[in-house]
Structure 1
Amino acid sequence: MSSVDKQLEDLKAEIEDELPPGISVSDVKYEGPELVVYTRDPKEFASNGDLIRKLASKLRKRITVRPDPDVLMDVTAAREKIREVIPEDAGVTDLDFHVDTGEVVIEAEKPGMVIGRHGSTLREITKAIGWTPEVVRTPPIESSTVSNVRNFLKQEREERRDILERVGRQIHREEMADEQWVRITTLGCCREVGRASFILSTAETRVLIDCGDKPGAEGEVPYLQVPEAAPLNSIDAVVLTHAHLDHSALIPLLFKYGYDGPIYCTEPTRDLMGLLTLDYLDVAAKEGRTPPYESEMVREAIKHTVPLEYGDVTDIAPDVKLTFHNAGHILGSAVSHFHIGDGLYNVAFSGDIHYEDTRLFNGAVNDFPRVETLVLESTYGGRNDYQTDQEDSERNLLDIISDTHEKGGKVVIPAFAVGRSQEIMLVLEEAMRSGKIPRMPVHLDGMIWEATAIHTTYPEYLRDNLRDRIFHEDENPFLAEEFNHIDAGEDERQEVTDGEPAIILSTSGMVTGGPIMSWLRHLGPDPDSTLVFVGYQAQGTLGRRIQNGWDEIPMNDRGNGRGGRGNTLSLKMDVETVDGFSGHADRQGLENFVKTMNPRPEKVLCVHGDERSVQDLSSALYHDYNMRTFAPKNLETFRFK
């Protein structure tokens, strides 16, 4: 008998000792980080509301209780009972029964009403039918991504359960190492922005954090071939902080080269990763480049994803616990806190953070019981990288829009589909509703509408007041009549160009390809129109060059702005930059993030910024807070124990 089988046998006996008479346990299994308890008495389990919580606390495990398939109520009868228990106002749109696991997935417009206070309605459902209910939200705006991901995971349930059982056995295996140490190896994004990737190693475990590309630098990928990362099938877990491509683009590539383990991220990060990586492949094909992997690898990545919620402490290896906290950067972005060993060491990776509250999100969390080392993004870590405050930024943007409208021109805003676009949409919706700017069409091009639909699917990750508005359909700001999804391609773009004053939000945010190139062709020669940058423009991107004054823009036939000698566009539209809308903390925000940590970390690694930014921030944190700081290069290894 393996050590894991013995462990499960002991857990089964311990659970049986804790249960009151009349409740049986037929089997216990690991599925990923969870302990799944099968019982022939699910209704009795549900009748004792504190039982699962007490077991989880005593065993220090995340526990799911499932009924044995042979004690399940007939599906037709169960469907009727569920409708009786759940209030009609909950807006149930689908009931999906899975006999193999005894689970029923309930899709509803108002999941909170299905769950009930402290899970009371869920317990009522189990008491009535014996099935284990799982609740998902019906997207207020239809999302093909959310629908496709849910359908795909439904089709792959059996294989996914096999994957989770294998992962669970890996997590709970017996520790083999005699010594204890902690190391971090930098595989990318050091003294540069992009290709974020790190290996966190212990004597027992190796975890890969992020695996992204580098904007504007085709072919520069993380150093996955070095001994710390290779072979990929020896990595125990992958943690994805958020879905932006400079952190997620090459996650599917791992599966092409042998990785077959879990990816830990939040649920919205999983969906957005699917959206952005599939688009990444599509753009590469349109530009005549060979994509680094096939779409099948994106599906593999989604199949291997284990979604975690903020604040859940989760075992991901025998000696590593992971907890996600809100990073305030984009939907589902997470500061990733690793607790290593039995109190041996604690490391936090900031991912990308925004420390102050925005219209979309609460600011980044920096409240941890312990952090000895912080790996901190430094995108705006330079000495003079202070952004305009939000109110001033919004006022500047609205002034530019009003001036351009008076001239009869169009405002073109290159924006990331995820995060900045929704922030700008909220500003524009409020400004038009309150009369600060004239009402005019706001055209959303590229993936912006689909990304917005995903935001409305997960309102619990948004700011409280915004979440409340989304719950009331007549107040959902994203459904304002001014917003128009461009879905007819060039013909519709030409119509907009020939039409009345308007605002165009278009991907790509750094002008490295996509629909923004078409808008430059249409409106670049128009001196009455304005191009407004509201997000970070990385070195080497066309966006940065235009920002720095280029007015002759290379345009090749593929429209990616990276070639086409002799084929140039004369840019006559105004070019403006409005700071303050970035999803990244500025220099002050980064310092405040560290300053208000209690206790403060002993060491800080400043990463994800150009050379000046990381060195400036590293120096300032050292001088101001007397902590050891580093501005590492790629392929450095730091040992902490």
Structure 2
Amino acid sequence: MSSVDTQLEELKAEIKSELPADISITDVTYEGPELVIYTRDPKRFARNGDLVRDLAGTLRKRITVRPDPTALSTPDRARDRILDVIPEEAGVTDLDFHEDTGEVVIEAEKPGVVIGNHGETLRRITQEVGWTPEVVRTPPIESSTVSNVRSFLKQEREDRRDILERVGRQIHRETLADEEWVRITSLGCCREVGRASFILSTADTRILVDCGDKPGSDDYPYLQVPEALGAGANSIDAVVLTHAHLDHSALIPLLFKYGYDGPIYTTEPTRDLMGLLTLDYLDVAAKEGRTPPYDSEMVREAIKHTIPLDYGDVTDIAPDVKLTFHNAGHILGSAVTHFHIGDGLYNVAFSGDIHYEDTRLFDGAVNDFPRVETLVLESTYGGRNDYQTDQEDAERKLIDAINETHDRGGKVVIPAFAVGRSQELMLVLEEAMREGKIPSMPVHLDGMIWEATAIHTTYPEYLRDDLSDRILHEDENPFLADEFNHIDGGDDERRDVADGDPAIVLSTSGMVTGGPIMSWLEQLGSDPDSTLVFVGYQAQGTLGHRIQNGRREIPIDGDRVGRSETMTLKMDVETVDGFSGHADRQGLENFVKTMNPRPEKVLCVHGDERSVQDLSSGLYHDHHLRTFAPKNLETFRFR
């Protein structure tokens, strides 16, 4: 018998000793980080919510209770009873029964009504029918991504259970090493923006944090070095993804092409957005005549191996590592990742990308932790003079540009990232039109923006508290405003918009590196009455960066291979700072200065050389911290 089997037998005996003698326990197993208890008496657990809570406290594990198949009523009978229990205003749209695990997935327009006060309705469901309810939201805007991910995971449910059981055994294996140490190796994004990737190593465990591309370049992270995949893809125990932007997530599916078969830990919206963005990444590569580094099957493998975690949940992901996600304030589901290593040995936090102040979309990044000795900190706007415009001033400047362009009869074209900045701008524009600050006019959403917005509305609990309340409790969803129009007719519809009345266009790609923005430049670039407004970071090497710095001769080949024509850009070009999803220099300093506890060391990464050096020097001189500006392939040992 393996050590894990012995451990499970001991846990089963301990659970039985902690529970009333007449509650049966038929099986105990691991599924990922959770301990799953099967019982013939699920109704007893439902009647006494303290049973599971007390067990979790005693065993110091995350616990899920599932009914033994013999305890279940038939799906037909259970369906009617469940619908009787759930209030009609919940808007239940689907019930999906899984007899292998005794779970029923309830999809509803208002999941909170299904859950009830402190989970009361969920407990009533189990008391009535024995099934364990799981609740998901019906997207207010139909989302093909959410629908496809849910359908795929349902289809792959059996494989996924096998993966989770294997991962669970790996997490709860015995530690083998006698010594204790902690190392971080940088595989990318050091003294550069993009290709974020790190290896966090202990004597027992190796964890890959992010695996992204570099905008405007074909450079990949240094995955083949011995510290990473050089010893084989399955020498990595786990992958942790901070957020879905491609400079952090694009090459996650490549790991499965190399043979990785382990878990990916991230938040649920990040999982869905990763699927959306990586599939588009493949599509854009094919349209531009480039050979994609992996195929769509690898994206599906990544989704199947993802274990979603909520903010604040402390989760075992290895025998010697606990992981906790905290809101990073950057994009939907973005996380500051906190690693607690060993039995109090060391604590490391990776900021990912952060925005420290509240925005219209998100609450600001969390910087309060039990312990942190080392912080790995993004430095995108870490330069000495990288101070962004105040958000109110930025909104005022944008509104002025829109009004001036509207008065000339032109169009406003805004290159924007599909995820995050587009939704922030939608909120600004919806309010400005509602309050009469700008004339009501169509706002055309091109590329993936509409689909990304649909994913935002599926997970309102990840949005800023007051915005979440508007959507969840006040039935005021600003993303459903009449002015918003999804461009789905391709170049013909774009031509009609270009020939029509004043309008606003939000289009991907945000750095003008391809995609529908190229078509908009072709349609409107020669119109001096129109305005191109940059609202996000333009990385060096991108066309957006070149236009922002004065270049006016631009290629217009778009997605069409073989053309090499250029045109002269005659539209006005404006840059409005203040809408970035990244903290500026002051925000980064404030994040560190007010961090509780203060870290002992700070590694400044994910910024060009000037930015990381400036931020590292500033934190050292002004806040007396030990700081570093690593180069790629450097390794730091902390214990």
Deviation per residue, 1:339-383 (Å, 9 max, x gap): 000000000000000000000000000000100000000000000
Residue in 1 that maps onto 2:622: 624
2:622, 2:147 → 1: CA distance? Answer: 49
1:473, 1:593 → 2: CA distance? Answer: 33
Distance apart, 1:474 and its partner CA:
5.2
2:613, 2:233 → 1: CA distance? Answer: 32
Residue in 2 that maps onto 1:144: 144
1:184-203 aligned within 5 A: 184-203=184-203
Residue in 2 that maps onto 1:466: 467
Residue in 1 that maps onto 2:576: 578
1:423, 1:455 → 2: CA distance? Answer: 11
Distance apart, 1:133 and its partner CA:
0.5
In the alignment, structure 1 residue 216 sits paired with structure 2 residue 216: yes
Deviation per residue, 1:572-620 (Å, 9 max, x gap): 0000000000000000000000000122000000000000000000000
Q: Secondary structure at the match of 1:106?
A: strand
1:277, 1:185 → 2: CA distance? Answer: 25
1:540, 1:455 → 2: CA distance? Answer: 30
Q: Secondary structure at the match of 2:154?
A: helix
Residue in 2 that maps onto 1:169: 169
1:576, 1:117 → 2: CA distance? Answer: 50
Distance apart, 1:18 and its partner CA:
0.4
Q: Secondary structure at the match of 1:337?
A: strand
2:204, 2:150 → 1: CA distance? Answer: 34
Residue in 2 that maps onto 1:67: 67
Residue in 1 that maps onto 2:262: 261
Residue in 2 that maps onto 1:447: 448
1:109, 1:139 → 2: CA distance? Answer: 7
Deviating 4+ runs (over 4 angstroms): none
On the 8 A contact 1:443/1:503 being kept in 2, the answer is yes
Residue in 2 that maps onto 1:477: 478
Distance apart, 1:471 and its partner CA:
2.4
Residue in 2 that maps onto 1:594: 592
1:187, 1:496 → 2: CA distance? Answer: 44
Distance apart, 1:564 and its partner CA:
5.7
Q: Secondary structure at the match of 2:49?
A: coil
On the 8 A contact 1:412/1:504 being kept in 2, the answer is yes
Q: Secondary structure at the match of 2:83?
A: helix
Residue in 2 that maps onto 1:635: 633
1:328, 1:381 → 2: CA distance? Answer: 17
Residue in 1 that maps onto 2:116: 116
1:85, 1:123 → 2: CA distance? Answer: 10
Residue in 1 that maps onto 2:362: 361
On the 8 A contact 2:516/2:558 being kept in 1, the answer is no
Distance apart, 1:70 and its partner CA:
1.7
Distance apart, 1:625 and its partner CA:
1.3
Distance apart, 1:173 and its partner CA:
0.2
TM-score (norm 1): 0.98
Residue in 2 that maps onto 1:233: 234
Residue in 2 that maps onto 1:79: 79
Distance apart, 1:557 and its partner CA:
6.3
Residue in 1 that maps onto 2:386: 385
Residue in 2 that maps onto 1:309: 310
Structure 2: 5+ residue stretches without partners:
none
Residue in 2 that maps onto 1:272: 273
In the alignment, structure 1 residue 101 sits paired with structure 2 residue 101: yes
Q: Secondary structure at the match of 2:492?
A: helix
Distance apart, 1:120 and its partner CA:
1.3
Range moving further from structure 2, 568-577 or 473-482: 473-482
Distance apart, 1:303 and its partner CA:
0.1
1:145, 1:79 → 2: CA distance? Answer: 27
Residue in 2 that maps onto 1:178: 178
Residue in 2 that maps onto 1:426: 427
1:534-613 aligned within 5 A: 534-556=535-557, 558=559, 567-613=565-611
Range moving further from structure 2, 324-333 or 36-45: 36-45
Q: CA RMSD in A?
A: 1.0
On the 8 A contact 1:518/1:559 being kept in 2, the answer is no
1:586, 1:336 → 2: CA distance? Answer: 20
Distance apart, 1:49 and its partner CA:
1.2
1:184, 1:464 → 2: CA distance? Answer: 35
Distance apart, 1:559 and its partner CA:
5.1
Residue in 2 that maps onto 1:251: 252
Q: Secondary structure at the match of 2:439?
A: coil
On the 8 A contact 2:519/2:558 being kept in 1, the answer is no
1:419, 1:473 → 2: CA distance? Answer: 23
Distance apart, 1:627 and its partner CA:
1.1
Deviation per residue, 1:110-163 (Å, 9 max, x gap): 111111122111111101000110010111111000000000000000000000
Range moving further from structure 2, 20-29 or 207-216: 20-29
Deviation per residue, 1:5-40 (Å, 9 max, x gap): 000000000000000132110100000000000001
On the 8 A contact 1:35/1:64 being kept in 2, the answer is yes
Structure 1: 5+ residue stretches without partners:
none
1:263-342 aligned within 5 A: 263-342=264-343
Distance apart, 1:308 and its partner CA:
0.0
Q: Secondary structure at the match of 2:25?
A: coil
Q: 1:472 to 1:52 in 2, by over 3 A?
A: closer
Q: 1:305 to 1:506 in 2, by over 3 A?
A: same
Residue in 1 that maps onto 2:8: 8
Distance apart, 1:635 and its partner CA:
0.2
1:356, 1:319 → 2: CA distance? Answer: 33
Letter of the 1:529 counterpart: S
On the 8 A contact 1:605/1:631 being kept in 2, the answer is yes
Deviation per residue, 1:447-486 (Å, 9 max, x gap): 0000000000000000111112222685210000000000
Range moving further from structure 2, 465-474 or 426-435: 465-474
1:49-64 aligned within 5 A: 49-64=49-64
Letter of the 2:384 counterpart: R
Residue in 1 that maps onto 2:125: 125
On the 8 A contact 2:356/2:591 being kept in 1, the answer is yes
On the 8 A contact 2:515/2:559 being kept in 1, the answer is no
The alignment covers a number of residue pairs equal to 637
2:555, 2:517 → 1: CA distance? Answer: 14
Letter of the 1:224 counterpart: L
On the 8 A contact 2:285/2:291 being kept in 1, the answer is yes
1:305, 1:498 → 2: CA distance? Answer: 45
TM-score (norm 2): 0.99
Q: Secondary structure at the match of 1:26?
A: strand
2:227, 2:515 → 1: CA distance? Answer: 36
In the alignment, structure 1 residue 36 sits paired with structure 2 residue 36: yes
1:347, 1:58 → 2: CA distance? Answer: 27
Letter of the 2:247 counterpart: D
On the 8 A contact 2:554/2:569 being kept in 1, the answer is yes
1:556, 1:131 → 2: CA distance? Answer: 56
